[in-house]
């Protein structure tokens, strides 16, 4: 299985700090956000390589991070895929960026996709175990945000047991408070369907749109994570999380 970490955005809502530093490299608890993601799967035997997808503007910063990660003794192979954009208005969109990474990194195996700007209190290795235990069903990680108003900010799933029966991207009237946390696990036959999705003229942006399309074609399971999850989407959220974990 390959792990694809999405770091291609420009995080305009966190400007001015993200004019100079990509959001996944912002520090929380004394280390970059992205370290919280990759360190949690360092000992996971199912992950063969880690692929970081970013853009031309922040390429050098991620190469510097990779060099330091390697020098620290990190044991997994890390590759960098660079989208040919340098500003927000030219960005590919998340789903088109995923397909760009699939093509340019030659991903032909099972794939785990993780949003590089999310902060989790749980290890992603648990979701990987669930994926393989399920017989490699499409699997997403969800978290109960409790409040309907909060749920309007995220991709929301409706569940029957573990099965996802509905997925809505930032709905006005959420069907539940179970939010997608930006963690998706796909068997290799589904990896090939990103090209099909885009060829049909579907929305190339948020990954949730792909799930809304895919749910009509195959079964999708959910892993409910009980720990803490933070979507670092605004300066206010980042400041609160930074202050809390840097104490």
pLDDT tens digits, residue range 99-151?
A: 999 999 999 999 999 999 999 888 888 899 999 999 999 999 999 999 999 99
Closest by CA position to 230, among listed 115, 124, 137:
115
What sign does the dihedral 60-58-195-210 (CA atoms) show? positive
Per-residue pLDDT of the chain (247 residues; tens, 9 = 90+): 999 999 999 999 999 999 999 999 999 999 999 999 999 898 899 999 999 999 999 999 999 999 999 999 999 999 999 999 999 888 888 999 999 999 999 999 999 999 999 998 888 888 999 999 999 999 999 999 999 999 999 999 999 999 999 999 999 999 999 999 999 999 999 999 999 999 999 999 888 899 999 999 999 999 999 889 999 989 999 999 999 998 7
Contact 153, 170 (CB under 8 A): yes
For the chain, domain boundaries? 2-245
> Which contacts (CB < 8 Å, 24+ apart) does range 88-92 have?
88/10, 88/12, 91/8, 91/9, 91/10, 91/55, 92/8, 92/204
- Tokens (6 digits) for 112: 């785990």
The structural architecture, per CATH, of the domain 2-245 is Alpha-Beta Complex (3.90)
Q: What is the pTM of this model?
A: 0.95
- d(Cα 97, Cα 8) in Å, to the nearest integer? 7
DSSP notation for the chain: -EEEEE-----GGGTTGGGTS-GGGSEETTEEHHHHHHGGGTT-TT--EEEEEEETTTHHHHHHHHHHHHHTT--SEEEEEEES--SGGG---HHHHHHHHHHHHT--S-EEEEETTEEESS-THHHHHHHHHTTS-EEEEEEE---HHHHTTSEEEEEETTEEEEEEES-SS-S-SEEEEEEEEE-HHHHTHHHHHHHTT---S-HHHHHHHHTTTS-EEEEE--S-EEE--SHHHHHHHHHHHT-
């Amino acid at each position: 299985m390959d792990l694809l970490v999405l770091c291609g955005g420009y995080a305009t809502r966190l400007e001015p700090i993200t004019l100079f530093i990509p959001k996944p490299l912002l520090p929380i608890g004394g280390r970059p956000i992205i370290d919280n993601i990759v360190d949690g799967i360092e000992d996971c035997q199912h992950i063969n390589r880690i692929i970081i997808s970013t853009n031309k503007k922040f390429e050098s910063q991620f190469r510097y991070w990779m060099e330091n990660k390697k020098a620290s003794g990190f044991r997994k192979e890390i590759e960098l895929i660079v989208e040919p954009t340098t500003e927000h208005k030219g960005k590919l969109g998340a789903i088109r960026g995923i397909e760009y990474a699939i093509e340019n990194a030659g991903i032909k195996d099972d794939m785990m996709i993780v949003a590089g700007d999310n902060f989790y209190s749980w290890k992603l290795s648990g979701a990987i175990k669930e994926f393989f235990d399920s017989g490699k069903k499409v699997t997403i990680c969800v978290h109960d945000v409790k409040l309907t108003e909060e749920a309007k900010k995220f991709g929301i799933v409706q569940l029957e047991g573990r099965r996802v029966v509905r997925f809505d991207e930032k709905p006005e009237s959420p069907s539940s408070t179970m939010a997608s946390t930006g963690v998706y696990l796909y068997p290799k036959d589904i990896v090939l369907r990103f090209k099909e999705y885009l060829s049909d003229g579907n929305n190339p942006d948020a990954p949730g749109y792909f799930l809304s399309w895919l749910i009509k074609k195959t079964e999708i399971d959910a892993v409910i994570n009980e720990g803490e999850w933070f979507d670092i989407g605004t300066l206010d959220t980042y400041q609160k999380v930074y202050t809390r974990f840097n104490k």
